[in-house]
Amino acid sequence: MRWNLSPQDLPTAWFNVVPHLPAPLEPPLHPGTKEPVGPEDLAPLFPMALIAQEVSTEPAVDIPGPVLDVLSLWRPTPLVRATRLEQALGTPARIYYKDESVSPAGSHKPNTAVPQAYFNKAEGVPRLTTETGAGQWGSALAFASSVFGLDCMVYMVRASFEQKPYRRMLMETWGARVAPSPVDDAAHPGSLGTAISDAVRDAAGREDSHYSLGSVLNHVLLHQTIIGLEAKQQLQLAGERLPDVVIGSCGGGSNLGGISLPFVPDEGVRLVAVEPASCPTLTAGRFEYDFGDTAGLTPLLPMYTLGHEFIPPPIHAGGLRYHGDSPIISALVKSGRMEAVAYPQSKVFEAGVQFARTQGSVPAPETAHAIRCVVDEALAAKEKGEERVILFNYSGHGLLDLSAYDDYLHDRLAD
Amino acid sequence: MRWNLSPQDLPTAWFNVVPHLPAPLEPPLHPGTKEPVGPEDLAPLFPMALIAQEVSTEPAVDIPGPVLDVLSLWRPTPLVRATRLEQALGTPARIYYKDESVSPAGSHKPNTAVPQAYFNKAEGVPRLTTETGAGQWGSALAFASSVFGLDCMVYMVRASFEQKPYRRMLMETWGARVAPSPVDDAAHPGSLGTAISDAVRDAAGREDSHYSLGSVLNHVLLHQTIIGLEAKQQLQLAGERLPDVVIGSCGGGSNLGGISLPFVPDEGVRLVAVEPASCPTLTAGRFEYDFGDTAGLTPLLPMYTLGHEFIPPPIHAGGLRYHGDSPIISALVKSGRMEAVAYPQSKVFEAGVQFARTQGSVPAPETAHAIRCVVDEALAAKEKGEERVILFNYSGHGLLDLSAYDDYLHDRLAD
């Protein structure tokens, strides 16, 4: 069962969680002076509109018309009840998901790529740079740049550039340029950290360029709240009460924030972050100021971190391989408003395959982390004989990640 | 702009074009006796329900409830107006498309895979065999078999099996077994013809197995008419009159038939088949009885054909590389009710990239054939200063065909 909204029902303002946080966010610090950064520090990299959103404490931020026009190419996304999965589990729980896989890039990432491209365009910036790991974020920004006529330069982790050519091809089809990172060492496999450093250096060194980030920052999570806002409308349409639990996978925090932040003020609603056991930022990291990248070029952010030099093992959910976390998500976990759990990837792919064989769609490995937790919540509800309303974010499809399923099905997966 | 129907608006009967054809269809002939085949000839391969649909002259055929339940996982599919493409072309034409790429397998193919799996299951058949070229059809049947708990054995053209592992992985994720064809010659690259022969031989040789075909036959096109039936409802929702022209790409004829057959009785509506210049069945073939496969195991069908031994060049639109055509489509073209045009693939990919950069989604190479024709129709409307309502079938996305775009963008594409 699915509940569609029409394009006229698209939310016209993003939800800002900042006024609802248990305590004010601590500010980002300048990497050199260790003083709080100001707008002038960020202006070489970001347009003023995004800098203002980054520090906004208004409860809502209007979505510009041209952004709504582009989002309506695929939004509102469907809310789906996973009745076949429920039946397979024999659970009394009702499982709903927001299907963010229907975007052109196949994930939730365009929700922020589109406004980021728009606000840069509106301030006269003709070129964007960014990093990408496996390619989800890079392809979203390539798409958004194509729509607004911007040049887009993507630095892609070299190991992925060489092993996963489809994402590179997708970015090029939308007109982006893609280079393997690090750019100055062809023998280095690269990491998200090196790619961020390459992209920031490029943008900082050119008058015509800004930098764009696909997760972690406040304005990114703000743009993603359109997911949870739509879900609230759709649950009402479905005749449903507030969910008992809202679940999302967490790398930097953008898909999790997108679905969960609008539920922060609803006190009875549990919020759950799901991360890989091999990169357990929220469940085993320390809350402290740390850099966003390996080279230490970014501001210091107050967040759960495994240390900016931590190199996660090469698990298949590339989008979850990040040493830190969004400051907003970190604050919610630190205060106890949000829970966090970690799973090894074999248990994750087991759930992903079960989803594919019941509901049809093959989830991205990142999304399969959320599904693992959903299955466990549904089985716990069965155990206790409880009705339980579960909402999760189907953040992306796995069609360009099938080699991960191949490894799982042929017993080549290491936890 | 998009128009969604709710699952309750799903058509409950398929549209049978046979009573609306200009002349009765000529019957398939037995490959040995050259006499018309009867149900008993087909029973080793197909369930009785599908054999009855194959020869039905009723104007409508009810869709069973369990089939509707599964189709509603992704249907009704959206009708989308391609306003950004219209603007880029500066055309007064209004361009609408049915987005069949939203199915779990990413194309229109599950529309017939689901009922085929269901009718076999209902008659107690536990195992299906089929062939696949690039993998679209095989993955659709793997998905449908997974939903109904059937075993599924797919014979995949060996060249694709080796060069395009993602489709094989997708089929295996849904639990199917996949073998390269021909099974008895590991040095042979294979073709759709050899794969059909392998799949038919397998099913004919086992009590527990039936064979399943993804295009060409009457019952396959019948199942696909749900596309055009939904489109008619949605055009009304959009406040639109009947389209001036309905366009689909044509290999065996299933996606084209799906969108166009419900418009056959609407006399003012032009119907257009788009095929590759390198496999020009309708535009350069002969109308005659021919085999469906290379080995001559299938019944003889009355159709446009390039000869069953014709091996099309290895163009990227694998789904359009078929020597023959659906008898229904052939009859419509022969009578003049349907037009046919052919394009070289460089012109096709040019249109595919233009679509991706305006509307966002990257079309399958098969679908890009239809888009090439849509663009030319829209430009002709501009030339003549005519409003023109164009409807086409967005039969699938190109996310597993990106290497074709890579070849186009890097000038490695041969026409």
Instruction: Record the tokens describing residue A319, joined without a space.
Output: 């989008």
Nearest to B141 by CA among B117, B125, B106: B117
* pLDDT above 70 as % of chain B: 100
Average pLDDT of span A235-258? 97
pLDDT digits 0-9 by tens, A71-84: 999 999 999 999 99
Lowest mean pLDDT among B39-43, B116-120, B226-230: B39-43
* A4, A102, A170 member nearest B402 (Cβ): A170
pLDDT digits 0-9 by tens, B70-100: 999 999 999 999 999 999 999 999 999 999 9
pLDDT of residue A193: 80
Q: How many CA atoms lie within 13 A of A81 on its CB side?
A: 18
Average pLDDT of span A404-408? 95
pLDDT of residue B121: 98
pLDDT of residue B7: 87
Domains and CATH numbers, chain A: 67-107+219-409 (3.40.50.1100)
pLDDT of residue B414: 80
Are the CB atoms for A375 and A354 separated by under 8 Å? Answer: yes
pLDDT digits 0-9 by tens, A127-166: 999 999 889 999 999 999 999 999 999 999 998 898 889 9
Which site among B2, B163, B230, B353 would you substitute to test the A interface, given the most A Cβ atoms closer than 10 Å to its Cβ? Answer: B2
Give the residue carrying structure tokens 């996660």: A312
Per the prediction, chain B carries an average pLDDT of 95
Are the CB atoms for A316 and A365 separated by under 8 Å? Answer: yes
- Order the strands of the B94-99 sheet from edge to edge: B2-3, B79-81, B94-99, B389-394, B245-249, B270-276, B338-343
* pLDDT above 90 as % of chain A: 87
CA A173, A177, A181, A183 dihedral sign is positive
Q: Which residues of B touch A175 (CB under 8 A)?
A: 357
Q: Which amino acid is at A261?
A: L
Assembly ipTM: 0.94
Nearest to A170 by CA among B352, B1, B276: B352
| pLDDT of residue A7 exceeding 90 | no
Q: Is A191 on the interface with B (CB under 8 A)?
A: no
**pLDDT category of residue B219 using cuts at 50, 70 and 90:** very high
Per the prediction, chain A carries an average pLDDT of 95
Q: How many CA atoms lie within 13 A of B317 on its CB side?
A: 34
pLDDT of residue B317: 82
- Cβ neighbours of residue B208 closer than 8 Å, sequence gap 6 or more: B125, B126, B127
pLDDT digits 0-9 by tens, B197-217: 899 999 999 999 999 999 999
* B2, B4, B406 member nearest A169 (Cβ): B406
pLDDT of residue A20: 97
pLDDT of residue A322: 86
Which site among B8, B69, B73 would you substitute to test the A interface, given the most A Cβ atoms closer than 10 Å to its Cβ? Answer: B73
| pLDDT of residue A331 exceeding 90 | yes
| pLDDT of residue B240 exceeding 90 | yes
Q: Is A409 on the interface with B (CB under 8 A)?
A: yes
DSSP string, B151-196: EEEEEEEHHHHHH-HHHHHHHHHTT-EEEEESTT-TT----HHHHH
How far apart (Å, rounded) are the C-alpha atoms in residues A104 and B351? 17
Enter the pTM of the model. Answer: 0.95
